Structures are given as C-alpha cells and as structure tokens.
Structure 1
Amino acid sequence: MKKVNFGAKRPSLSGQGTVDDWVGNKEPTKRLTIDVPVSLHKRVKSRCAMDNLVMADVIRELLEQRFPHSPEAEHGVPS
C-alpha cells in the first residue's frame, strides 16, 4: 500500500501579515451559503488544490473584486 504524506496546512490568502495584525483587526464575519453546480465546484476545488489555495479565500477575493469597499457602504447608502 502506498503511503501518502500530507504537508502543513495550505497557506491562507488572508493569513498575510503578523499575528498581531490578524488578531487586532479581526472584523466579525457572516456565513454565506450558495449552491453551485457540481461541475463548477469540482473545477474550483481542483484548481485551488493544484495552486495550494484555500477555496474560501479565493471566493472572498473574487467577491472583494466585484464589490469593492466604498465609504458610502458604511453608512447604508446603496451603491
């Protein structure tokens, strides 16, 4: 039987910076659940695994690109 060794946990895109930065600037989070076709899920999961990325980090990055932060958003003004 072939033995497979797994390395350390994949690096997180949001894990850049110091531990103090991460702890000090932690914004509360909300869980977002979406349904995607199985074929899309497989493509995303496979590509993230090949690139040593975390799926959630990649999806957060895509959402940030599509919906950039704006000062108006903090005051409840629709964009």
Structure 2
Amino acid sequence: MAKEPPTVSELREAAEISDDEINAAVDVVLADLATEAYPLAKGWTLDLVDTLRTNTRAAEARTTDKAAWKRNMVRTAILLAHPVKG
C-alpha cells in the first residue's frame, strides 16, 4: 500500500513549507479560486480546487462575509491537505 504524502502542516513542521507560502496560498483562494495546481515550495504542489471541494467548512466559509472566519477555515483546509511532490 502506498504511503499518503504528508500534509501541508507536517511539511511546515519539517521546514519544507513556510508560513508565508501557506499565507500566499490562502490569499490565492480568497482572491479567486481559479487554479488547481498551486506550487507551494521545494517541488510541492497543491490542488487548491480539490482541497476546498473536500473540506466542507472551508467551502461554506468562502460564501460568508466574515473575513476572519473565512481566512481561518481556508487556512485550516490547506494545512490538512496532502500536496504532491513533482
């Protein structure tokens, strides 16, 4: 059985991805989610569309006018996502 790639949070803990790179991904989602393959760092790529589609709270948050809640839910979804090394 193939091992699942690490989460963005695990990569952050291992210093593979920085908070600034995660914040940039959150900004992209909040500005206009039009990209699927988003380059994070060091060859890691995250499918932002799939990340939001599979996280119900983040998808709901994008439709609210509560900016802080929206940002936190999107960031949480990204931290829990599994990017691929490419």
| TM bin (shorter chain) | under 0.3
TM-score, length-normalised on structure 1?
Answer: 0.26
The structure where strand makes up a greater share of residues is 2
The structure where helix makes up a greater share of residues is 2
TM-score, length-normalised on structure 2?
Answer: 0.25
